[in-house]
Chains A and B, each alone.
Chain A
Amino acid sequence: MKTLSELNKYFIKYKNKLALGILFIIISDVSQVIIPFFLKEAIDSFKENITIESIVKYALFIVVAAVISGIFRFFIRETIIVVSREIEYDLRQDFWTHIQKLSYRFFQNTTTGNIMAHATNDIAAVRMYVGPAVMYSVDTFIKSIIVITILISINPLLTFYTLIPLPFMSVAVYYISKKLHKKFTKIQERFSDLTTKAQESFSGIRVVKSYVREKREIYEFTNLSDLYFTSMMDKVKLQAFFMPIIFFITGLSVIVIILFGGRMVIDKELTIGEIAAFVAYIGMLTWPMIAFGWVMNLIQQASASMKRLKKMQSEKSEISDTEITDYSINDISGKIEFKNVSFKYKEDLPEVLSNINLKVNNGETLAIVGHTGVGKTSFVNLIPRLYDTVLGDILIDDKPIKEIPLNILRKNIGIVPQEAFLFSDTIENNILYGADIKDDNLLKEVSKISLLDKDVESFPNKYNTILGERGITLSGGQKQRTSLARALAIDPKILILDDSFSAIDTKTEEEILINLKAFMKNRTSIIISHRISTVKDSDKIIVLDDGKITEEGTHDELVAKKGIYADIHFKQLLEDELKQIN
């Protein structure tokens, strides 16, 4: 329960609205509770010869009281429940702001599903506590006190008899909904088993068909279906108690009133009107009593969710500005130096890069070549500090990058990652994602360099065409070219192409490279590629193997060396030859 006190700061933020809401509950409850009183007065007055006018008066009183109660009941929801939505908003916003700051490593180790579960389920559970739980507990509390006081004032003994069954209802609701919650969880698990089985069976359809295992698959799916059915019925068995118990207990209370109250009326200790009032009051207490049991569960669930949210909130961001950050740096020019740099992803994992030493001067182009998994991407990820080095330093303009404010560093580095990730937004917004201003000329210019302009012309809404599920799907090559344009649009001092042309054919690539040449003048570029044609004109080429630089030099030098580079070069010539054969 303690974790829920974390929410106090949010409650305080909306304290006025909440206080108002509680006031409205009181007003509404009072006017609602008056109604049975008028009912009693009216019924009892029939015994004494009264006029039609006074009957009408009672009827009107009832309507007026109902109207007042109704109006305030409206405002209760418009305050307390609205506040719960406001707090939900705040919680989610705080959650997201925090998540965004976490380092790349966190996202590598946490599944998207996990983060989403926190952001939706847990926040929703907390919201239920903040809104409905608060509303109903206050309402129950106030209403019960008023109603019970009135009942006692009418007849303490009958009150006692009548109220005996009601607490059982709260307890029953509490236990049933608690158990139901568990059964629901079970059902969800079983359902996800079913889904997993279907997923596996359908995606493994080739194996299933090859080994003629269709019958077995169906059999297993049927078994899981059986289990699901069983747990569903298990829930139904319990859930089916819910309504009967509620109307059994309230019905019992009413029967108690009729039997004992009836006897009291015969003994002239009570009036018929009072019986009617009792029945009406019991009706009024029913829902709060049910709500009470339910609310207790809400609180427990909210508390568990809050704990999970808090855990997520306490994740520290590994990479951020620190006390050594020199905020006077507001620009970089692009000279890069690696000094004895070593890197590994985790303490107990082997080194991905070991003892790298390298200098790239302002305006130079560095190419990195090597087989898959030798550390090329890790190498470039260190420059914009997606990860920090484990040993050694990376210097830009002779300053350790940890001293450069993170946003200055990153704003000056244009990365075109291996996987061209684009947002489901317009092409324009994707290209100008990092640009400070939405400039049409810039948009056109970078699209032209990336050879994207002709493609865009063929899209239905040109640059306003939306990408992704709700729009058009780009080909792999188009994605990569968009991603390139995006990197160019920030006017970077350092341009990093991490195997960015893998889905683009050689001819188009060559054209892009020619376009890029002018752009890359005065900028430092780092190009990772599998294609020799992409890298051969670079100022410097390094070959990475097993985390170390094994070859370094220009194209001609490396070809002469007859090492890994020369081998890759030779194979590509062969591949081209093969393609020529018809």
Chain B
Amino acid sequence: MIHNHDDIVGKAYDSTLMKRLLGYIKPYKKYVVLSILLNLIVAGLGPLRPYLTKLAIDDNIEVGNYDGLLTIAVLLVISLVLQSAIQYFLTYFTQYMGQKIIYDLRKKVFTHVHKLSLKYFDKTPIGRLVTNATNDIESLDQMFSSGIVMIFSDIFIIIWILFFMFFMSWDLSLVTLSVLPFLIYGTFLFRKKVREAYRRVRKHLSRLNSYMQEHVSGISIVQIFSKEKEEEKRFSEINNDHKKANIDSIFYYAIFYPSVELISSVAVALIIWYGGRGILEGVVTTGDLIAFILFTEMFFRPIRDLSEKYNILQTAMASSERIFGLLDNNTFIENPENPEELENVKGGIEFKNVNFAYNEENYVLKNISFKIEPGETVAIVGATGAGKTTIINTFTRFYDINSGEILLDGKNIRNLRKEDLRKYISVVLQDVQLFSGTIKSNIDLNSSKISQEQVIEAAKTVGANSFIENLPNKYDEIVKEKGATLSVGQKQLISFARALAYNPKILILDEATSSIDTETEMLIQKAIEKLLVGRTSIVIAHRLSTIQNADKIIVMHKGEIREIGNHQQLLAKKGIYYKLYQLQYKDQEVA
């Protein structure tokens, strides 16, 4: 099942996860301390103003002191300016901290994914990994930026208000605070209800979206079967459910906001009733009364904020569980502890009794042994599923073999660092992978070791230069996602240029089967010839020309090597190769 953010109903607090999450705050400890200090100050400045107002009324306005009133007004302005300024920086700091932390985390996840072996990628949908590295991390933002620090802010505000209120009149405070339980209960109840209602809305929204998504993809089925009317009806049901869920959630808002207003009006009424009596008795001043009325308004925001924290924590727990799950996965192809040095590679390759299975039992390579001398070109042929690609995958250590040995210049590749090994190999895959960037960056893959001249040289050698020169921005032409602007053949030439620019000792080429026009085919054939010169090459061949030029042809069948030899020898044998030849290559003879 794919994780769905809308279905999160998990716990809001898990101490193990929380501890681990908090670990990421450590580098920013001083921000946390600073924020909490600022919070303490700023939380007091708001409640200070009703108190100053009281002083203005009781000690100045009532007694006619113009100067005193002005002093208080100045104090009020100062507190307001201070509060605004501090609040600004506080928001900035906490957000900064939150963003920094998730930045670190994002990098960590991305780096981790790159360490994982292909075995992991085979089992995991790319989309899920992408979500882990982006959306899941994003949803931690709120917890780090507003969650943790702001809890202090809300609590401090409430404490300060209580402090001033009780300082002025404790019994009036108690009367006023009698509405507080209703406010708290109401707020938390509302949050809960809204959360549930919102979950329903999300559920129906995702139903609506997947309906549309699915029916846009399957529109031809709808139209071919003339089901537009029926689908319209079904859509209207889903659309209607979504509407109803929304209207349900309106109900909670419609109850909640007026209730809050009502509660604060009741508090005002209570203040007038009890405070009014106090005034008559001379124990309460008019200023007290007005200050209390001002305080009632201040309670609402921190309580509402606190009630939101639950959601934030819940989301954070769910996301962090997935993120840590990924970070804890150690499906790596490990480097040896004491790697052998790899220098002056000549390019001799040997497979010795290699057995390999992607899954436990299903052996894809069975007792494979062959030897390739430095500088030789070897073509591997066979029907689909014969195990050709697997040979490449094991040699580059995308996967480790189950038994046997693979040697490079007589050294077991398991004793080498993966990076060293791969540095000497260039692989050209059948499916050309282009990255967003420029033509140049797709050839040099942004390596600083490859100069512009080398890029052009490589492109020239494979015959890609001419079409690149014809692009408006030449080598700086932007390549879009999936390289939509380039033809299949052009993409292939670029991937050849890429392999060549890295000037590998060993070239591995999985020839594409897709048909291209004859002109490009000629270009590609020539390019391949150039590629193979002066290095050890393994080619999964689909082209007759490649096979004919190979020093050696390895014929794979059902995971085994069945025939080895050159073109003429193998043809004469009239075995598997002979059949394959007639099936796949013979037609190319004319060309």
Question: Which A residues have a C-beta under 8 Å from some C-beta of B?
Answer: 32, 35, 39, 42-43, 46, 49-50, 52, 55-56, 58-60, 62-63, 65-67, 69-71, 73-78, 81-82, 85-86, 88-89, 92-93, 96-97, 99-101, 104, 107, 112, 115-116, 119-120, 191, 194-214, 216-218, 220-222, 225, 229, 232-233, 236-237, 239-241, 243-245, 247-248, 251-252, 254-255, 258-259, 262-263, 265-266, 272, 275-276, 279-280, 283, 372-373, 384, 386, 406-407, 410-411, 413, 415, 417, 421, 423-424, 433-434, 469, 486, 490, 571, 574-575, 577-578, 581-582
Contacts and interface: CB of A to CB of B under 8 A. Distances in A.
Contact of A73 (B56, B225, B257): B257
A221 B217 CA distance: 32
A283 B53 CA distance: 15
Contact of B435 (A60, A67, A200): A200
Contacts of B247: 82, 85
A280 B265 CA distance: 11
Contact of B254 (A74, A202, A248, A581): A74
A76 B92 CA distance: 37
B384 to A, nearest CB: 10
Contact of B216 (A76, A112, A575, A581): A112
B49 A251 contact: yes
Interface string B407-434: 0000000000011001101110100010
B9 interface: no
Given A32-B261, A85-B243, A201-B110, 7 more contacts: A85-B250, A107-B219, A211-B422, A213-B445, A265-B61, A421-B220, A423-B215
A434 to B, nearest CB: 4
A551 to B, nearest CB: 17
A283 B235 CA distance: 45
Contacts of A571: 582-583
A85 B293 contact: no
B250 A78 contact: yes
B76 A258 contact: yes
Interface of B: 2, 46, 49, 53, 56-57, 60-62, 64-66, 69-70, 72-73, 76-77, 80-81, 83-85, 87-89, 91-92, 95-96, 99-100, 103, 106-107, 110-111, 113-115, 118, 121, 126-127, 129-130, 133-134, 138, 208-210, 212-228, 231-232, 235-236, 239-240, 242-243, 246-247, 250-251, 253-255, 257-259, 261-262, 265-266, 268-270, 272-273, 276-277, 279-280, 286, 289-290, 293-294, 297, 383, 396, 398, 418-419, 422-423, 425-427, 429, 433, 435-436, 445-447, 481, 498, 502, 515, 557-558, 576, 579-580, 582-583
Contact of B447 (A73, A207, A213): A213
Q: Is the interface of B mostly helix, strand, loop or mixed?
A: helix
Contacts of A259: 69-70, 73
A198 B583 CA distance: 41
Contacts of B110: 198, 201, 218, 221
Contacts of B224: 384, 386, 410, 413, 415
Nearest to A413: B224
Contacts of A101: 228
Which of A67, A203, A577 neighbours the largest number of chain B CB atoms within 10 Å of its CB?
A: A203
A42 B286 CA distance: 11
Contacts of A272: 57, 61-62, 286, 290
A417 B92 contact: no
B212 A46 contact: no
A209 B117 CA distance: 9
Given A198-B130, A204-B435, A415-B224, A221 B290 contact: no
Given A93-B235, A421-B221, A63 B266 contact: yes
Contacts of A78: 250-251, 254
Which of A60, A120, A208, A272 neighbours the largest number of chain B CB atoms within 10 Å of its CB?
A: A272
B138 A191 contact: yes
A235 B266 CA distance: 39
B92 A421 contact: no
A277 to B, nearest CB: 11
A62 B236 CA distance: 46
Which of A203, A210, A220 neighbours the largest number of chain B CB atoms within 10 Å of its CB?
A: A210
Contact of B236 (A42, A49, A93, A232): A93
B398 A225 contact: no
Given A207-B429, A258-B73, A262-B61, A82 B218 contact: no
Contact of A115 (B212, B436, B580): B212
Contacts of B83: 244, 247, 251
Contacts of B419: 212
Contact of A433 (B219, B221, B418): B221
B56 A262 contact: yes
Contact of B269 (A60, A207, A280, A411): A60
A434 B227 contact: yes
B455 to A, nearest CB: 14
B436 A120 contact: no
Given A233-B96, A252-B80, A272-B61, A62 B217 contact: no
B103 to A, nearest CB: 5
B265 A216 contact: no
Contact of B239 (A92, A211, A243, A245): A92
A59 B267 CA distance: 10
Contacts of A262: 56-57, 60-61, 69, 73
B225 A434 contact: yes
A202 B217 CA distance: 25
Given A247-B84, A262-B61, A574-B582, A43 B232 contact: no
B216 A115 contact: yes
19 contacts: A60-B269, A66-B261, A69-B261, A77-B257, A100-B219, A198-B129, A200-B435, A218-B111, A220-B446, A240-B88, A258-B53, A258-B73, A258-B76, A262-B73, A272-B62, A275-B57, A386-B223, A424-B214, A433-B221
A131 B269 CA distance: 33
Contacts of B259: 70
A6 B298 CA distance: 43
A262 B54 CA distance: 12
A423 B214 contact: yes
A241 B582 CA distance: 75
A100 B231 CA distance: 9
A191 B133 CA distance: 11
B228 A100 contact: yes
Contacts of B293: 39, 276, 280
A96 B113 CA distance: 40
Contact of A116 (B46, B209, B221): B209
B467 to A, nearest CB: 21
B254 A120 contact: no
A189 to B, nearest CB: 13
Contacts of A35: 265, 268
Given A52-B277, A55-B277, A407 B226 contact: yes
Contact of A70 (B85, B220, B262): B262
Nearest to B95: A236
Contacts of A86: 243
B216 A116 contact: yes
A196 B481 contact: yes
Given A46-B286, A63-B266, A407-B226, A96 B212 contact: yes
Contact of A211 (B69, B253, B290, B445): B445
Contacts of B273: 55-56, 59
B99 A232 contact: yes
Contact of A104 (B210, B223, B242, B289): B223
Nearest to B86: A244
B265 A116 contact: no
Given A70-B262, A93-B239, A100-B231, A225 B106 contact: yes
Given A115-B212, A410-B224, A490-B225, A55 B272 contact: yes
Contacts of A410: 223-226
A241 B92 CA distance: 9
Nearest to A103: B223
A31 to B, nearest CB: 10
